[in-house]
Amino acid sequence: MDTVMKAVELTGIVDENQKLQIDGKVPIRGPKHVRVILLYPMEDDDIGEQEWLYAAARNPAFDFLREPSEDIYTVDEGRPFHDEI
């Protein structure tokens, strides 16, 4: 039988000994087993825009875009776009 679970969002810190310290008190009475999911910001593991574009340009999922039937626009259509940063 599946157990119905309730979620509570708390904040805390993982210390230098890899121990989780919760800010404040936990709003349940114990002792009780709980499941913990940690959400934390990614740092240097996130790829940059240039790396993402490089990977997407070489992904075989987009090979169909190289087919002549997909080339429906010409350089004479539209107006040039000049980004002013």
pLDDT digits (tens, 9 = 90+) for 7-19: 999 999 999 999 9
pLDDT digits (tens, 9 = 90+) for 37-82: 998 877 766 677 888 888 888 888 888 888 888 888 887 888 878 8
User: Is the bond leading into 31 cis (omega within 30 degrees of zero)?
Assistant: yes
- Cβ-in-10-Å burial (0-12, 13-18, 19+) of 43 comes to exposed
pTM: 0.44
Amino acid at 82: H
